[in-house]
Chain A
């Protein structure tokens, strides 16, 4: 065992704490980066988790002078690539360079996305109660679609459709709000 690996062990708890605090601060950002490629929540979370393990294993290489999130996102892109290799369906979506293109374009659009989505909370509050509780059930409680369907007395397909419609309305709302005249 080399000297620095000893240090690594002796210091593991401090290093871990430092790592976790950096990671926790960036986690949502990393999640959204991954979700731009693999939007399904549980899959994206799975990839984020794998990314965390990879980041921790390479944490010695991290230069604290550099921002953590972009460093982490490079790993996230790699992990996403590895993850889709084993999943034909997602390969179909992301192959022929689309994964890289989406990641890059999202970065370019970032300021605009930020600005528009600043209004998301206000727009959510404007939703009728029943719709808001569906969004909350799906995204916040992470209740399964069957459960949500049962709660609202809809079919699962109709529940998905309703979520799609709500997101559409939210998007219209944030876009109108992002327009300075409308604000």
Chain B
């Protein structure tokens, strides 16, 4: 095949290359042409550039959802309207990109986590994240790999391949979430994200809920896991299976499938029926310790959140983001991390104690006394709003416990609070002095949630006038308002309320929160259910439910 330029065939082949559908013959022909014809080459670069711009510039796609759309066309004042019109799709885009970014950040974090005692300069880079990867080597201690295995290091992506560990310890995390620690000498054949084969060696498998059904085979045994921790000691002609937590199902020898419970072990030799006995975890001590020695899963979660957070900060509709990162005990201000909005510089801490946040290394603020509060001022009118916070409620001591409340009772003001019966309540103040509307959820902050990090969100959509309360990413109540926008924040407080009522306020006007706050966000638009759920997912303390 040969290509001419210009020609319809040239057009088609270039398009097919962009779409990833070109055949090898077409690609060869194009190679021939582009090397011999500079015009064809330059035109090719231009076409590919149009394609790659479209693929890489989400800003090219404003959602024209408003009647005022044509006014965006003039270049002047464009950036103002951009905030409004781009807000929604940008977030959707960023949600997708953030997922990818999270994966990247997790990889980086894993590499960093694996450097404890292992970072060797100049070691050839591990295999890249190939598309056939099914697992990742996340950790190793004094690991010596067999000759047939290429050099492995924490962070290496693993495809379907056989690992030969001669000595030391290594942990493999399958993409299903199952973790297998190997103690050398051991061999492990990786088959799929949820299946592996161990011809010989000792292993400890931990299978979290979502990875249920993880299957591990030896020459004697076939183990299917139901969300547990179990050990395998396999050698030629003999396999011992020990269950330390939960339950597995196994079949071995000539025997049919059977369950094996926590604290029990089964020994299969040759074709004899399995011999049942008590599990002996002491044989797996070294491997248990590898788990315990490491706090890296926590560190990784924190890193993941940081990356997601950095990404979120670029959302133009994010007005306030208090991530409570990097403030010292003597520092009374909290920096607003929202990159795109300068209207709120920072917030002021009054009282409060520093406390541990969702992760060991993450800071939070604890509210206890009637003085404790975080003050901020948010200028402007808003058509829609989303409020979100990570809180750990210690108790609901007051009749009304403030999460985020605008000072006093100004028209358009918002009061977001938790009632002492566990009801989430959002009050929107109307123009008249007695005119306000309350949107209350069923009692959701019940005793079982006390002391736990909980994600709360409230969305006020000015267009549809719908208010939705969310707990841990899921809607728990929804109500349509009679009152409409504009909504105003002005001066407001987290964890308390300035009732502007003068000295000696009535008890119902004392609304301090008893608990901790580790993150707060305010958006100038209504987030969708999915977006609220994403916020929760990206911030939840552990990846597993």
Question: Which residues of chain A have a CB within 8 Å of any CB of chain B?
Answer: 1-2, 5, 8-9, 12-13, 16-17, 19-21, 24, 28, 31-32, 35-36, 39-46, 49-50, 52-54, 56-57, 79, 82, 88-90, 92-98, 101-102, 105-106, 109, 113, 116-117, 120-121, 124-125, 135-136, 139-140, 142, 145, 160-161, 163-164, 167-168, 170-171, 174
Contacts and interface: CB of A to CB of B under 8 A. Distances in A.
28 contacts: A5-B121, A9-B112, A9-B119, A13-B306, A16-B112, A24-B310, A28-B57, A32-B49, A35-B52, A35-B55, A39-B20, A39-B48, A43-B20, A53-B129, A57-B125, A92-B31, A94-B31, A96-B35, A98-B31, A105-B45, A113-B46, A139-B55, A140-B58, A142-B96, A163-B19, A164-B12, A167-B47, A167-B50
Given A35-B51, A45-B100, A125-B73, 7 more contacts: A31-B56, A49-B100, A98-B34, A102-B44, A117-B49, A139-B54, A140-B61
A6 B51 CA distance: 44
Contact of B108 (A19, A82, A160, A164): A19
Interface of B: 11-12, 15-25, 27-28, 30-31, 34-35, 41-42, 44-61, 73, 89, 93, 96, 100-101, 103-105, 107-109, 111-112, 115-121, 125, 128-129, 131, 155, 303, 306-307, 310-311
Contact of A54 (B25, B31, B45, B125): B125
Nearest to B58: A140
B101 to A, nearest CB: 8
B35 A97 contact: yes
Contacts of B22: 89, 93
Contacts of A88: 24
A50 B111 contact: no
B538 to A, nearest CB: 15
Contacts of B311: 24
A39 B28 CA distance: 15
Contacts of B109: 16
Contacts of A2: 121
Contacts of A32: 49, 52-53, 56
A29 B150 CA distance: 33
A116 B50 CA distance: 10
A156 to B, nearest CB: 9
A36 B52 contact: yes
Given A57-B111, A136-B61, A5 B52 contact: no
B111 A56 contact: yes
A40 B31 contact: no
Contact of A113 (B49, B108, B307): B49
Given A50-B129, A96-B35, A13 B112 contact: yes
A12 B51 contact: no
Nearest to A94: B31
A16 B31 contact: no
Nearest to B89: A140
Given A5-B121, A164-B15, A42 B48 contact: no
Contacts of A160: 15-16, 19, 21
A6 to B, nearest CB: 9
Contacts of B21: 160
Contact of A92 (B24, B44, B96, B117): B24
Contacts of A16: 105, 108-109, 112, 303
Instruction: Return the 5 tightest CB-CB contacts between A and B, nearest first.
Output: A40-B20, A35-B52, A164-B15, A93-B27, A12-B112
A8 B48 contact: no
Contacts of A53: 104, 107-108, 111, 125, 128-129, 155
A96 B32 CA distance: 9
A102 B41 CA distance: 8
Given A140-B89, A163-B15, A170-B50, A109 B55 contact: no
